[in-house]
Amino acid sequence: MNRFVELQNIREQFPAIQQQVYNQSLVYLDNAATTLKPKAVIDRIHHYYSIENSNIHRGVHYLSQQATTAFEQARAYVASYLNAAYPHEVIFTKGATESINLVAHSLGELLMETGDKILITAMEHHSNMVPWQQLCNRKEGELLIAGMNEAGETDLVHYRNLLEQKPKIVALTHVSNSLGTINPVREMIALAHQHQIPVLIDGAQSIVHQPIDVQELDCDFFVFSGHKVYGPMGAGVLYGKTHWLEKMPPYQYGGEMVDQVSYAHTSFNQLPFKFEAGTPNVSAVLGLEAALRFMQQTGIEHIKSYERNLLEEAENELKKIPSMRIIGQAKSKAPVISFLIGNIHPFDLGTLLDKMGIAVRTGHHCAQPVMDAFDIPGTIRASLAMYNNADDIQRFIAAVKKAADMLS
């Protein structure tokens, strides 16, 4: 297979990657924050607002029926993409954060009693930490944190020991956004299930880099955001096993999620609508479907191995730079590289890289406790996507060397 030709085709699909910033072609390495969008996604949103624009589920007219059918087809597609057992196991939200908040409130209400515990890892994004911390605060409970080693890998012995304390819910990131670590979630889920504890997987950083099969993982919940998997902002997914979703109380109240309403009493709609109060972001959901179709057509296994090669190349070159410190050196890593050089402040280096047309992220990456654990103020983070290529890596490395020389 001619990988170079294939890559050219992929880059042509992404209008934003074609642009110049500061008179230089853009090297976009902030993909863990949000990915650029292929034409297929942009066109799908354009088509919805040009033609199908209508509110869903409650109209008898033609457009409403068209939009409703498209929306429900998107649900069925997402379910098949994840290998969920049923389409009703896919709840549309506005993103991973909202999906986690939904579970923390609703499952938390169902399972947590005063003094109960929740277990997470030390490398969670704030979105998979603060909702559980606040739940523990409301229930006078305790948030248990499975520690990590210096490479940024979860300490599985500690994790096993904490499971003995019988937490009510386990919530784990699949891939750390700040370290790149891929957690062995399949094994971790199986361990939690030995204690009958339900597990939520935060897949915000994993689904864009690898195939996801929720039945194979056997997770009870899986969440992700559309905008990190080449889709639009404003749509995300909560996958949940039917038996949990059926037992869980609604999270938000209003139109769409109800069955019968009187002034005195309300009964609730069936799944998945029970958890989708109000008008959803229809265009974003349709864009998300287009994004996942794009991923599938490109070939997820191919994307995975291609990105892995790029990661290896970038890390090997970075390691040659004097005083380079890569934060997060797990054996199993997604294409996310956090680093520091000597005493240079990440913000200063990031700002110089920007002026050279290289977009990276600097700071704590919404994972302040992770930075505390490594005793650093933050990092520079380069995160890769399918449209990055060897040229991008060379430009990035050259720019890092130049900026480091200027700042040393």
d(CA 317, CA 339): 13
Smallest distance from the beta carbon of 30 to ligand PLP, in angstroms?
Answer: 11
Residue 37 or 57 with smaller CB distance to ligand PLP: 37
Q: What is the rounded CA–CA span in Å between residue 111 and residue 397?
A: 49
Cβ 311 to ligand PLP shortest distance, Å: 17
User: x/- site string to ligand PLP, residues 26 to 65, per CB under 6 A?
Assistant: ----------------------------------------
Question: Per CB under 6 A, which of residues 297..356 are in contact with ligand PLP?
Answer: none
Number of neighbours of residue 161 by Cβ within 10 angstroms? 12
User: Which residues between 212 and 271 bind ligand PLP (CB under 6 A)?
Assistant: 225
Report the distance separating Cα 188 and Cα 194, nearest Å: 10
Sequence-distant (6+) residues with CB within 8 A of 309 are none
Out of 54, 97, 269, 362, point to the residue binding ligand PLP (CB under 6 A): 97
Q: Specify the residue, 106 or 127, whose C-beta has the smaller distance to ligand PLP.
A: 127
- Compute CA distances 215 → 87, 172, 335, 392, whole Å: 13, 17, 25, 36
Residue 385 CA to residue 310 CA, distance in Å, equals: 9
Residue of 76, 366, 373, 376 marked active site: 366
Sole window of 91-99, 237-245, 278-286, 342-350 interacting with ligand PLP (rule: CB under 6 A): 91-99
CA-closest candidate to residue 273, choices 68, 15, 64? 68
Task: Single out the residue of 173, 283, 329, 383 in contact with ligand PLP (rule: CB under 6 A).
Answer: 173
- Taking the least distance from each CB to ligand PLP, the nearer of 31 and 388 is 31
The distance of closest approach from Cβ of residue 100 to ligand PLP in the complex, given in angstroms and rounded to an integer, is 7
136 is catalytic: no
* Shortest distance, position 394 Cβ to ligand PLP, whole Å: 27
Question: Which residue among 26, 74, 96, 393 contacts ligand PLP (CB under 6 A)?
Answer: 96
Least separation in angstroms between CB 247 and ligand PLP = 25
Question: 173 or 269: whose CB is closer to ligand PLP?
Answer: 173
- Contact flag: residue 128 with ligand PLP (CB under 6 A): yes
125 binds ligand PLP (CB under 6 A): yes
Which window, 41-49, 55-63, 121-129, 385-393, contacts ligand PLP (CB under 6 A)? Answer: 121-129
Within 186-205, the residues that bind ligand PLP by CB under 6 A are 202, 204-205
Contact between 242 and 85 (Cβ < 8 Å): yes
35 vs 329, beta carbon nearer ligand PLP: 35
Pairing of strands 24-25, 27-28: unpaired
Least distance (Å) from ligand PLP to the CB of residue 264?
A: 37
DSSP string, 152-210: S-B-HHHHHHHHTT--SEEEEESB-TTT-BB--HHHHHHHHHTTT--EEEE-TTTTTTS
What is the Cα–Cα distance from 229 to 34, expressed in whole angstroms?
8
Phi, psi angle pair for 273, to nearest 5°: -70, -25
Distance CA 78, CA 90 (A): 7
What does the block give as tokens for 145?
């944190």
At residue 328, φ and ψ (nearest 5 deg) are 105, 90
Under the binding rule (CB under 6 A), the answer on residue 95 touching ligand PLP is yes
Q: Is 177 in the site for ligand PLP (CB under 6 A)?
A: yes
Residue 23's alpha-carbon distances to 63, 134, 350, in angstroms, are 44, 46, 18
- Please list the active-site residues: 366
Site of interaction with ligand PLP (CB under 6 A): 95-97, 125, 127-128, 173, 177, 202, 204-205, 225, 366
